[in-house]
Chain A
């Protein structure tokens, strides 16, 4: 089946630095990808929709200047957390719709970000 990968799986960075998370669709093309954030013991909250060749669409309350999204190709979307702070520590998950439509998604394994 379709696979979505994320890199890195875990990252620790210092407060004030930036960190980039990659999301790749390995055997299919994805013009749209979704980025979610999950706090411990909580559900997934959609942060933004990444669109290949155009600007990302951010959900209400998500700072677009802090969470930079780039969808450079049909198989790669990146999320950059700029000037990270400890409150940005979270589990970030990306997903890509299946080729049958936008209803079913394939999820990446997630990236654990810890900001010290």
Chain B
């Protein structure tokens, strides 16, 4: 069955430190992959997406993600986290119609 897995329920990083949020997918073929961010009580904002081509994808707010087919992963990274990055992050995938979301990773940023 198709699935998107985010192994980490929550992560805490210090402000200014680097960040990596993990995402693994299980699809029959390479899906289209997305990372979204959600602030409390808000909708989802698209950070970046991968359809094909360059496996390192740049997004908004200084985020990037790397698609690794061999590991079925699409991890999100940021070199230096800001306090305003504290939020819920969702990895999502689609095989062409329905989108499947991971469980989400809550990011806490400590001063």
Q: Residues on B close to A: CB < 8 A?
A: 32, 34, 36, 41-46, 49, 51, 90, 94, 96-99, 101-104, 106
Q: Within 8 Å CB of B41, what residues of A?
A: 91, 110, 112
- Whether the Cβ atoms of B43 and A93 lie closer than 8 Å is yes
How many pairs of residues, A versus B, come closer than 8 Å at their CB atoms?
46
Known contacts A102-B97, A104-B49; decide if A43 and B104 are in contact (CB<8 Å): yes
Q: Within 8 Å CB of B51, what residues of A?
A: 103
- Map CB proximity to B onto A29-44 as digits: 1 under 8 Å, 0 otherwise: 0000010000001111
- Whether the Cβ atoms of A93 and B44 lie closer than 8 Å is yes
In whole angstroms, what is the CA distance A65 to B82 when docked? Answer: 45
B interface, over-half SS: strand
- Residue A13 interfacial (CB < 8 Å): no
- Residue A80 interfacial (CB < 8 Å): no
- Whether the Cβ atoms of B96 and A110 lie closer than 8 Å is no
Q: Within 8 Å CB of A103, what residues of B?
A: 32, 51, 94, 96
The residue in chain B whose Cβ has the minimal distance to the Cβ of A93 is: B43
Q: Within 8 Å CB of A46, what residues of B?
A: 98-99
In whole angstroms, what is the CA distance A4 to B41 when docked? Answer: 16
